[in-house]
Chains A and B, each alone.
Chain A
Amino acid sequence: EPEVTQTPSHQVTQMGQEVILRCVPISNHLYFYWYRQILGQKVEFLVSFYNNEISEKSEIFDDQFSVERPDGSNFTLKIRSTKLEDSAMYFCASSWTAETQYFGPGTRLLVL
């Protein structure tokens, strides 16, 4: 069964550093998403991406964040200058119709 994959599974970085989280959505899916889950809190929406542009974003997704689909398979989330409060589990999701989203295993980001 096709799955969403994410790399790396864990990343530790220093405050102020740039990080890039990578996702390979399910092949032939058209809609792509990033969510995050701070430890002990709800899963929160960050951004959705369709047809090579952002279709929706939350107030969390400020200028420090960007997304890109550099080729036909990868979908990336970049955090330009990480803060302590960016420490969280980041989930990528994809969807064929935008009605049902399928999630990857997540990347646990720790900012020191």
Chain B
Amino acid sequence: AQSVTQLDSQVPVFEEAPVELRCNYSSSVSVYLFWYVQYPNQGLQLLLKYLSGSTLVKGINGFEAEFNKSQTSFHLRKPSVHISDTAEYFCAVSTGRRALTFGSGTRLQVQP
């Protein structure tokens, strides 16, 4: 079985500052990795995904993530955040065509 750990439950950051949201996973087999974002009172929106190929993946809204197999990590980064990036961010993993296992989420709070 796989598991996902999001090390930070909350990340406060000032507008236009860079941010990194950390995600580590555990699995005995190859995985697919995802970041989803949940804006207040909304559903889960796919930010980006790693299925195979280049370990640096770019997503929507200027976010990117890097798959590091040796460190079993998939950290999410953005060089300059906006107030509108305030949301809950979920890292998720699946093994092939299986159910997603989610982390507990990181609340990104962007302050002016």
Query: Are A and B physically bound partners?
Result: yes
Interface string of B31-42 (1 = CB under 8 A from A): 010101000001
Residue A33 at the chain B interface, CB threshold 8 Å: yes
Which of A44, A56, A106 contacts B98, CB < 8 Å?
Answer: A56
Among listed A11-19, A63-71, A73-81, A94-102, interface-contacting one: A94-102
Interface residues on A, range: 20 to 34
Do the beta carbons of A58 and B43 come within 8 Å of each other?
no
List residues of chain B with CB within 8 A of the CB of A42: 102-105
Interface string of B97-110 (1 = CB under 8 A from A): 11111111100000
List residues of chain B with CB within 8 A of the CB of A103: 36, 43-46
Taken together as a complex, chains A and B put the C-alpha atoms of A45 and B4 apart, in Å, by 14
Which of B32, B44, B46, B97 contacts A43, CB < 8 Å?
Answer: B44
Q: Report the nearest B residue to A31, measured CB to CB.
A: B97
Q: In the complex, how many angstroms separate the beta carbon of A52 from the nearest chain B beta carbon?
A: 17
Which of B42, B46, B51, B102 contacts A102, CB < 8 Å?
Answer: B46
Binding site for A on B (CB under 8 A): 32, 34, 36, 42-46, 49, 51, 90, 92, 94, 96-105
